[in-house]
């Protein structure tokens, strides 16, 4: 009996990710050290923002708890995606050395296999740190919580992860064509999450416009968070825009899926 593609994909993902976890446990000491190192490194990231706020009271009009909310939302949703499909960012490597071939002859969706490739549990460090900062922000921020605002939080995280996921997939598709584009992809993924950690008000209008209409990362946190915080929307967007993230996410994923199909079909493999 043939199961549907998404189910088959998830199953293959689970199987392969499990193998990688067991592989990494083959070197227990190294595993423990990298987890610790990643936790410390991720922690330092937010310390940089804390240091900034030791000098100023507000950044682009946002106070520390508010920036922490942006930061927490951005890093948590990105951390989720990074944990799940980080290896898509390095797909060019597999294309260059021809090992993508071995994924293509298996009876499972290649995207699932490629996403699970080199699955590393140590990446929960970033996710954990994002959730810790988000937790602090939710306690410290001064907001009149309504049911709608509370509901918006998980919606933002899931949609945000999906939007970042779409960027990963589209980038991977691009790397099939241009194998050494890993850095370009990092600029959008890591660059994107860093950008979103700061209020939109500190950036130039052109950049905000690009991040809203071209690569709609603004819907990960800027726009919906503006609603939660009761702040003016970037670019004077209408109020309903705060509830657009799920739609934006679906649109991005559809486009990324299309790009992936095109990319895979134009895969050229390597000689022998």
Residue ranges in contact with another protein by CB under 8 A: 12, 15-16, 19, 22-23, 26-27, 97-99, 101-102, 104-109, 265, 267-269, 271-272
Cβ at position 172, least distance to another protein in Å? 17
180, 90 Cβ separation under 8 angstroms: no
Is there a contact between 129 and 42 (Cβ–Cβ < 8 Å)?
A: yes
Phi, psi at 215, each rounded to 5°: -115, 95
The residue (of 108 and 223) whose beta carbon lies closer to another protein is 108
Angle between helices 182-195 and 147-177 (to 10 degrees): 160
Ordered alpha helix ranges (H), 54-179: 64-85, 91-97, 100-104, 110-116, 124-140, 147-177
Q: Shortest distance, CB of residue 14 to another protein, whole angstroms?
A: 10
| Contact indicator for 197, 49 with CB cutoff of 8 Å | yes
For another protein, the closer CB: 13 or 164: 13
What gap in Å lies between CA 234 and CA 219, rounded to an integer?
11
User: In angstroms, what is the minimal distance from the CB of 101 to another protein?
Assistant: 5
Nearer to another protein, 14 or 61 (CB): 14
Nearer to another protein, 107 or 204 (CB): 107
Question: Measured from the CB atom, is 3 or 146 closer to another protein?
Answer: 3
**Nearest-approach distance from CB 33 to another protein, in angstroms:** 17
Q: Which is nearer to another protein, 9 or 79 (CB)?
A: 9
Q: How far is the CB of 265 from another protein (least distance, A)?
A: 6
Radius of gyration of the chain (CA): 19
Cα–Cα–Cα angle for 242, 89, 261, rounded to 5 degrees: 80
User: Minimum Å distance from CB 179 to another protein?
Assistant: 13
Residue with tokens 């390095």: 90
Question: What tokens were used for 125?
Answer: 């460090």
């Amino acid at each position: 009996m043939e199961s549907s593609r998404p189910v088959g994909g998830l199953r293959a993902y689970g199987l392969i990710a499990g193998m990688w976890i067991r592989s990494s446990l083959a070197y227990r000491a190294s595993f423990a050290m990298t987890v610790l190192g990643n936790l410390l490194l991720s922690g330092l990231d937010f310390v940089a923002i804390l240091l900034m706020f030791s000098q100023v009271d507000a950044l682009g009009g946002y106070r520390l708890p508010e920036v922490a909310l942006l930061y927490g939302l951005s890093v948590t949703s990105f951390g989720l995606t990074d944990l799940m499909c980080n290896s898509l960012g390095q797909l060019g490597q597999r294309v260059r050395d021809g090992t993508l071939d071995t994924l293509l002859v298996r009876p499972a969706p290649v995207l699932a296999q490629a996403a699970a490739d080199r699955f590393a549990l140590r990446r929960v460090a970033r996710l954990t740190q994002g959730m810790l900062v988000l937790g602090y922000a939710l306690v410290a921020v001064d907001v009149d919580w309504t049911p709608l605002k509370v509901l918006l939080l998980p919606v933002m995280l899931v949609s945000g992860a999906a939007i970042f996921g779409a960027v990963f997939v589209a980038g991977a598709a691009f790397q099939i064509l241009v194998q050494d584009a890993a850095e370009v992809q990092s600029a959008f993924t890591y660059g994107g999450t860093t950008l979103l950690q700061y209020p939109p008000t500190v950036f130039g209008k052109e950049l905000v416009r690009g991040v809203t209409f071209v690569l709609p990362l603004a819907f990960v946190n800027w726009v919906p968070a503006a609603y939660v915080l009761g702040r003016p929307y970037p670019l004077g967007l209408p109020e309903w825009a705060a509830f657009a993230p799920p739609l934006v996410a679906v649109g991005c994923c559809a486009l990324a899926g299309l790009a992936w199909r095109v990319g895979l079909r134009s895969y050229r493999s390597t000689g022998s």
